[in-house]
Amino acid sequence: MAPESERLIDTVRGCTFDDFLFRPQYSVLERRDPATIDLSCRFSEHITLKRPIVSANMDTVTRAPMAIVQAEEGGLGIIDRGFKSGDIEPQVREVEKVKRTQHVIIRDPYAVTPEMTLGQAIAIMRRSRVGTLVVVDAERRLRGLLTERDVRFVPTGETKVSSRMTPVDALVTGVGELTLDQAERLMLERKVKKLPLVDAAGRLLGLITSRDIVRQARLPFASRDAHGRLLVGAAIGAKGDYLERAAELLKAGVDVIVIDIAHGHSVVMERAIAAFRARFGATELVAGNVATGEGVRFLVDRGVNAVKIGIGPGGGCTTRITTSFGVPQIQALVECRLAAGVTEPVPLIADGGVRRHGAILEALLFGGDTVMLGSMFAGTEETPGEIVQKPVVLPEAQRTVKVPFKVLRGMASIQAIRDRLDVEDADSVDIEALGAEGTEVSVPARGSVRPIVQDILRHLSSSVSYGGVTSLTELRERFWDDPFRYLQKLSASAKRESYER
């Protein structure tokens, strides 16, 4: 190992986020605007994101609403596997909801047939709150469009859709899978707000609306697949129904599978990766968690496309307390980064332990290509779970008020394990004996997660500016070229001065 790397490992041994600050550099940026600063990163070997934020696969953090916001803001959500064993469909449904979130092409627009009555068409418009219906025949060939305006002021009773629709010959249509740019140009040229897409035989492929194009333009950083759909990941285990679960998730269009177990450097993981690769070939696969160089090499040698790093730093996690195993997260990230290689390595996901925005930059410089956040998003509108009103004592006012709370729990907490088990299993298994490594806490309910993500990105952009560079990638490269130009280890009093408020 190069002497500089040894010095770095010595410096970070036993350390975590609050043990460091970075020395400010001459800034070359006029503005610290996330819209103009490049924060792009690699999530895994074949997935690049414009923002390095990933929401944790925890059953109190990431389901479809969270994953949608994360992908719209340029990051990624990983749907948790906290559903009962054998109960695969609910997780698949969450993935489908993300993949069906429409911004560009509506693949399955509301449709009527020419023979239906206007009364029936109006009922569909009212129910779906959609003002334009596509008209298709039994073979799904496009026959026309019917809008709210077409049905206004006409006797609706038995009048047929065919008598009021704009017929296909009078419509502007796109043939084949147009790119968004081609569709936009065509709509501008021909001054239409709706563009049905058909195949060579005239069968409906989808519908593009100008409203959706505008909405898409408002999300310039969103993480999308080749068809313009939002990206989403999903977690599976390493035993039981995990292969079946993966097969169904992939069928639903999930973009990446994460084999997530507490101790990823294990015989159980080795078997799971081999079986996964045998069945699903080169499907994008992330595995974790590990926290040592040996752990990373073990997973990389088995052909995973990214590795998740973190044993015990998580907010809802008690592994270190209950087992005395784990590695302080900054030490873990540096060791794992050196093991994975510094240039063009397998991407690492820094998972857990981030309690303040500044720590995100540390996670991203010391080793993470992306950072996975759980408790930072807890209590937001997009997290699953009910709001409960809890009494809170206000000592100054000498009274009690009801405050809305949501639950955040570790995925290895007794409660989360109990929910994953079938009822019969719960009777036959001594749950305590499973060895819980997580806790459940109440977190004050707050608004949407979107402004929190946007705040994080603003702070990250400021960090890039303080770092004297113009992009996150450049900052990482500079740091690894000469870590001690940036790194300052803090004394106990400097930690107090920095982080105690």
The distance of closest approach from Cβ of residue 365 to ligand XMP in the complex, given in angstroms and rounded to an integer, is: 18
Considering only 68, 259, 363, 412, the residue that binds ligand XMP (CB under 6 A) is 412
Sign of the Cα torsion 414, 416, 421, 426 reads: positive
Q: Is 420 a catalytic residue?
A: yes
Which residues 317-346 are close enough to bind ligand XMP by CB under 6 A?
A: 317, 319
Q: Which long-range contacts (CB under 8 A, 24 or more apart) does 121-128 make?
A: 121/146, 121/151, 121/161, 122/151, 122/156, 125/151
Q: What's the rounded Cα separation, in Å, for the pair 285 and 304?
A: 5
Edge-to-edge strand order for the sheet containing 388-394?
A: 388-394, 399-409, 440-444
Element (H, E) at 44: strand 41-44
Considering only 66, 68, 272, 372, the residue that binds ligand XMP (CB under 6 A) is 372
Sign of the Cα torsion 95, 96, 97, 103 reads: positive
Residue nearer to ligand XMP on the CB measure, 85 or 166:
85
Q: What tokens were used for 298?
A: 């073990």
Q: Which amino acid is at 353?
A: G
Q: What's the rounded Cα separation, in Å, for the pair 164 and 425?
A: 60
The reply on whether position 411 binds ligand XMP by CB under 6 A is yes
Q: What's the rounded Cα separation, in Å, for the pair 11 and 26?
A: 25
Residue nearer to ligand XMP on the CB measure, 133 or 359:
359
The reply on whether position 205 binds ligand XMP by CB under 6 A is no
The reply on whether position 74 binds ligand XMP by CB under 6 A is no
The distance of closest approach from Cβ of residue 61 to ligand XMP in the complex, given in angstroms and rounded to an integer, is: 8
The reply on whether position 375 binds ligand XMP by CB under 6 A is yes
317, 336, 337, 409: the catalytic one is 317
The reply on whether position 59 binds ligand XMP by CB under 6 A is no
Residue nearer to ligand XMP on the CB measure, 217 or 434:
434
Which residues 270-299 are close enough to bind ligand XMP by CB under 6 A?
A: 289
Inter-residue contact 352 to 331 (CB < 8 Å):
no
Q: What tokens were used for 73?
A: 């803001």
The reply on whether position 77 binds ligand XMP by CB under 6 A is no
Q: Is 277 a catalytic residue?
A: no
The distance of closest approach from Cβ of residue 409 to ligand XMP in the complex, given in angstroms and rounded to an integer, is: 7
Q: What's the rounded Cα separation, in Å, for the pair 133 and 141?
A: 14
* 102: helix, strand or coil: coil
- Compute how many residues bind ligand XMP; rule: CB under 6 A: 26
**Part of the chain binding ligand XMP (CB under 6 A), chosen from 148-156, 351-359, 442-450, 464-472:** 351-359
Considering only 329, 437, 483, 486, the residue that binds ligand XMP (CB under 6 A) is 437
CB neighbours of residue 189 within 10 Å: 9
Would you name the residues annotated as active-site residues? 317, 420
Site residues, ligand XMP (CB under 6 A): 56, 58, 262, 289, 310, 312, 314-317, 319, 351-354, 372-376, 410-413, 437-438
